[in-house]
Amino acid sequence: MDRYRGNSQAIAELVKGHAVHRDVYVDKEIFELEMEQLFPNSWIYIGHESQLKNTGDFITSKIGNQPVLASRHRDGQVYVLHNRCPHKGVKIASEACGNTGKFFRCPYHAWSFKTDGSLLAIPLKKGYEGTGFDTDQAAKGLKRIENVKIYRGLIFVRLAEEGLSFEEFFGDALSTIDNMADRSPEGELEVISQPIRYMHTCNWKMLVENQTDTCHPMVAHESSAGTAVSVWEREKDNFTETPMAVQLYAPFMSPYEFYEGAGIRVWPNGHGHTGVSGSIHQDYEDVDGYQDMMVEAYGKERAAEILGDIRHNTIYFPNIMVKGPVGILRNFIPLGVDKTLVESWVFKLKGAPDKLYERGLMYNRFINAPTSIVGHDDLEMYERAQEGLLSNGNEWVNLRRLWEDDEPEETTEVVNGTSERQMRNQFYAWRKFMVQNMDKAVEAAE
């Protein structure tokens, strides 16, 4: 018998604020419900508009476990479509990206569709005459997803027909995306390369939580960042300047006090970020000419404001992290209750010096690659947690650091940077979007 399906009470009880039940990480039914409820009810990132420059360009993605595609139609619009032939269900686009020309053509029976999804042609169409085909959903072509928002080029989609609007869902959290895009003198981001992909045998939420876990770097990354610091201390006399690599690694070893002071900001609906008043990205060397370009583009005051906002990691609930000052977006794509694909993208700031893109790419391979020593440290912890949670010795994961009895769940607030508040904030939102529409669906079925 299902323990959680249709039982919003049981799901709500998994989240106690200062603790969450281990089923959120290990239970297969909970994972299925995340795919059915949480992801469709939330606004999910599927790609960037710059990946769809020309008519006929497309990208594929998934929302929960549902395949979607986005394509640039000849009217200049981006359409997001269910990636499934209305005939037999065959995926229309199988590659991560490409150009389909004037239309999509299903490789199975040659049904074809315009790049806005509408049906173009079916071979031997007379076989459908008088059959009532025109009343089928199939006659409408690839089903279009209506709730699409392109914000500073980032494409977000909400599958559920009803729910929070994009603006209601993200609110002030959009300020990190704004800051990242504003770092381009032209105010625009661009994707010009593929992401680094890294497979994780753990639940997707462990990765999301780790992004605002400021009490782990100096511990878990002692092996990588700590070794980088000690090797550098020994070797630095052989160098005339501090390499970019050392600038990127060393701040990971910042002490607890640094993170405490840097702060965490939480927003409603599970969004939040580390590095409110300073972050591990604050001491990178200036890039020649960049400052002047920014002043030229925005004026002195505004340029200083943009470059002075050096946020660390921003969680856009449920499953992406944006690192504004480095221009990185990490997409934590759930594949199974204990399997997560991480795709880490680097944005190019249009009109900015190449050195910034070089730094973003370097950061990405240092931290987010299957060959990354920092990544090795983290994955080891996730895998151990995924196994350890099967213990019946304790069914709860503890999130009590700097917890307060009357902690508000839907608020904007800045707190001590070592708080587990943002993790709790994510789970408040998790509970909300897991059960949203669930009771309604149960009533309708009854």
Partner 1 sequence: MNRDDLIDFVYDEAAAIDQMRWNDWLALYHKDGRYWMPLEWQQEDPILQPSLMYEDRLLLTVRVERLTGERTFSQKPKSRCHHLMERPRILSMGEDDGVYKLRTSFIYTETRGDLLERFSGWVSHELVEVDGALQIMLKRIDLINFDAPFSNIQLFI
User: Which segment (116-124, 156-164, 238-246, 310-318) binds partner 1 by CB under 8 A?
Assistant: 238-246
Please give the single-letter amino acid code of residue 311. Answer: R
231 forms part of the interface with partner 1 (CB under 8 A): yes
Least Cα distance to 349 among 289, 418, 405, 399 occurs for 289
Is 232 a residue that touches partner 1 (CB under 8 A)? yes
Both tokens assigned to 277: 């008043």
Among 77, 165, 193, 411, binds partner 1 (CB under 8 A): 193
User: At residue 420, what are phi and psi to the nearest 5 degrees?
Assistant: -90, 20
**DSSP annotation string for 239-279:** -SS--HHHHHHGGGG--HHHHHHH-EEE-GGG-EEE-SS--
191 scored as a contact of partner 1 (CB under 8 A) = no
Closer residue to partner 1 in complex, CB, 317/357: 357
Please report how close the Cβ of residue 361 comes to partner 1 at its closest, in angstroms. 5
| Position among 10, 160, 218, 341 found at the interface with partner 1 (CB under 8 A) | 341
Window contacting partner 1 (CB under 8 A); options: 3-11, 228-236, 411-419, 438-446: 228-236
Closest by CA to 266, choosing from 402, 440, 105, 62, is 402
Q: Rounded to whole angstroms, what are the CA distances from 287 to 283, 292, 390?
A: 12, 10, 48
Q: Is 95 in the site for partner 1 (CB under 8 A)?
A: no
Sole window of 25-33, 152-160, 198-206, 284-292 interacting with partner 1 (rule: CB under 8 A): 198-206
Confirm if 43 and 149 have CB atoms less than 8 A apart.
Answer: yes
- In the bound state with partner 1, the residue whose beta carbon lies nearer, of 231 and 414, is 231
From candidates 277, 370, 397, 403, binder to partner 1 by CB under 8 A: 370
Phi, psi of 272 (to 5 degrees): 175, 170
Pick one of 41, 364, 422, 436: the residue that binds partner 1 (CB under 8 A).
364
* Paired tokens of 396: 């709860």
Instruction: Give the integer Cα–Cα distance in Å for 69 and 82.
Output: 6
Q: Choose which of 16, 62, 216, 376 interacts with partner 1 (CB under 8 A).
A: 376
Q: Under the criterion CB under 8 A, does residue 442 sit at the interface with partner 1?
A: no
Q: Does 200 bind partner 1 (CB under 8 A)?
A: yes
Q: Which of 66, 112, 201, 416 binds partner 1 (CB under 8 A)?
A: 201
Q: Which is nearer to partner 1, 149 or 197 (CB)?
A: 197
Q: How far apart are CA 318 and CA 334, in angstroms?
A: 11
- Mark 268-306 as b/e (b = at least 16 C-beta within 10 Å): bbbbbbbbbebbbbeebeeeeebeebbbebbeeeebeeb
- Contacts with partner 1 in 247-306 (CB under 8 A)? 249
Provide the binding-site residues for partner 1, judged by CB under 8 A.
193-201, 220, 222-224, 226-228, 230-232, 235, 243, 245-246, 249, 341-343, 346, 354, 357-358, 361-362, 364-365, 369-371, 373, 375-377, 379-381
